[in-house]
Amino acid sequence: MPLVTFINSMNTSNTIDVPVGETLMRAAVNSNIDGILGECGGACCCATCHVYLDSTSAPDVPRVGEMEQQMLDHVAEPRRDDSRLACQLVVDSSMEGLRVTIPQTQL
């Protein structure tokens, strides 16, 4: 299982093992990571799992899909080039060491 580090807005980090095939959102919710709400359960329709990816820690992350692109226009915190929805990121072995920053708010 790849290790993924979640960093909150207070710069506190939590590193968790994420099963291959699980989304970052589901892994965060199951591990009680503060700041990842996932209100829609991973259906890509609420934007409450907005994160910022450190692309240098896992450069092979899949590109943003069309539906995710549209939802990123509705995030609570400023959208950046590294903005993603954790529900749309299915973990694979290439994500070992991925660092994910959680915005201050999701609502």
Which domains, ranges and CATH numbers included, belong to the chain?
3-101 (3.10.20.30)
Instruction: Tally Cβ neighbours within 10 Å of residue 21.
Output: 9
36's torsion region: left (phi>0), alpha (psi -120 to 50) or beta?
beta
Can you give the pLDDT at residue 51? Answer: 98
- The pair of structure tokens assigned to 31 is 């591990």
List average pLDDT for each run of 10 residues in the chain, which is 107 residues long. 97 98 98 97 97 91 96 96 97 96 95
Can you give the pLDDT at residue 58? Answer: 82
* Predicted structure pTM score: 0.95
Using alpha carbons only, give the angle 11, 106, 19 rounded to the nearest 5 degrees.
70
- Decide if 87 contacts 40 (C-beta within 8 A): yes
Can you give the pLDDT at residue 59? Answer: 87
DSSP alpha helix (H) spans, 10-98: 24-30, 66-71
- Decide if 104 contacts 52 (C-beta within 8 A): no
Q: Which residue type occupies 11?
A: N
